[in-house]
Structure 1
Amino acid sequence: MKEFLALCVTRFEALERELNKLDAATGDGDHGTTILKGLRAAAAVDGAPDKAFRKAAGGASGSLFAQIIAALEKAADGTSLGEALSQAADRIAMLGQAKPGEKTMLDALIPAAGATSPDEAAQAAATGRDATRDMPAKRGRARYVEGAGVGHIDAGATSVAELLAIFAEWRRM
């Protein structure tokens, strides 16, 4: 898992500006910075990377994305990836009071949970991420911007898709 988290840090360092730009169109513009801060903390600890992520990232993103870090750790330890992602999606939906189709990270995560392999999960998440472009936001700051963010891809869904793409790559190594 440490190698996976190190890969995440490297990839998200390259994505930080892009994620902040996506978030600026519909939110406060700090999503990339927040996720990177959490990933750096998760990669630096020897145990409980989800807790380190949550503490370092803080706020709603910290709590929600910590669920994904925990799910990927379970999958790395032998739990079915689909089962782990499904449990994370259920928790995120409960914590965020969100459901699919509301332009959130769930729009990438829920399709991925139905996949049978890391590669399929990554592809399903990417397709879900892309679908957020045409969705009006019903949660978070994006629901208050003009047009409820239609025309913009959700930053959270983008991060989910990236994490799952990195996980698939790591599993092939």
Structure 2
Amino acid sequence: MKDFLALCVTRFEALEQELNQLDAATGDGDHGATILKGLRAAATADAAPEKAFRKAAGGASGSLFAQIVAALEKVANGAPIGEALAQAAERITMLGQAQPGDKTMLDALIPAAAATTPDAAAQAAAKGRDATPDMAAKRGRAKHVEGAGVGHIDAGAASVAELLAIFAEWRRM
């Protein structure tokens, strides 16, 4: 798992500005920096990478994305990917009070949870991410911007899709 998280850090270093720009269109513009901070802490944690992620990233993103880190650790340890992602989606739904179609990370995560392989999960998450520009935000800061973020990719959904793409690639290594 440590090598997966190290790969995530490298990829998200390259994506940080892009994710910040996506977030700036609908939020406060720090999503990339926040996720990267959490990933760096998770990658260097001796144990419980999800707790390290949550603590370092802080705020709502820290708590929500820590659920995905925990799910991917379960999959790395042999759990079925769909089951682990479904549990993460359930917790995120509870914590964030969001639903599919609200233009959140769930729009990438929930389709991925129906998958049976890491590659299928990554493909489903990418499709979910790509559907977010047509959605009006119903949760978070994005619901307060003009047009509720219509026309913009949700940064959280983009990060979920990227994490799952990296995980699928790592599993093939």
Q: Does the pair score TM above 0.5?
A: yes
CA distance in 2, matches of 1:104, 1:66: 15
Match of residue 2 from structure 1: 2
What's 1:146 paired with?
A: 146
Count how many residue pairs are aligned between Structure 1 and Structure 2.
173
* SS of residue matched to 1:124: helix
List 4+ stretches of structure 1 deviating above 2 A: none
* Distance (Å, rounded) in 2 between the aligned partners of 1:27 and 1:167: 27
Cα distance, 1:46 vs structure 2 = 1.6
Whole-Å separation in 1 of the counterparts to 2:166 and 2:143: 29
TM-score w.r.t. length of structure 1 = 1.00
**TM value normalised by structure 2:** 1.00
| 1:73-112 paired onto structure 2 within 5 Å | 73-112=73-112
Name the structure 1 match of 2:155. Answer: 155
Letter matched to residue 39 of structure 1: L
* SS of residue matched to 1:167: helix
What CA distance in whole angstroms lies between the structure 1 residues aligned with 2:125 and 2:37? 22
* Shift in Å, 1:3: 0.4
Shift of 1:68: 0.2
User: What is the distance in 2 between the residues matched to 1:45 and 1:136?
Assistant: 37
> 1:91 Cα shift?
0.1
RMSD: 0.3
Match of 1:70 in 2: 70
Compute the displacement of 1:106 (Å).
Answer: 0.2
Residue 17 (structure 1) shift: 0.1
In structure 2, C-alpha distance between the alignment counterparts of 1:69 and 1:138, rounded to whole Å? 25
Q: Which runs of 5+ in 2 are unaligned?
A: none
2:142 is the counterpart of 1:124: no
Separation in 1 of the partners of 2:39 and 2:145?
A: 28
Gap regions ≥5 residues in structure 1: none
Letter in 1 for 2:37: K
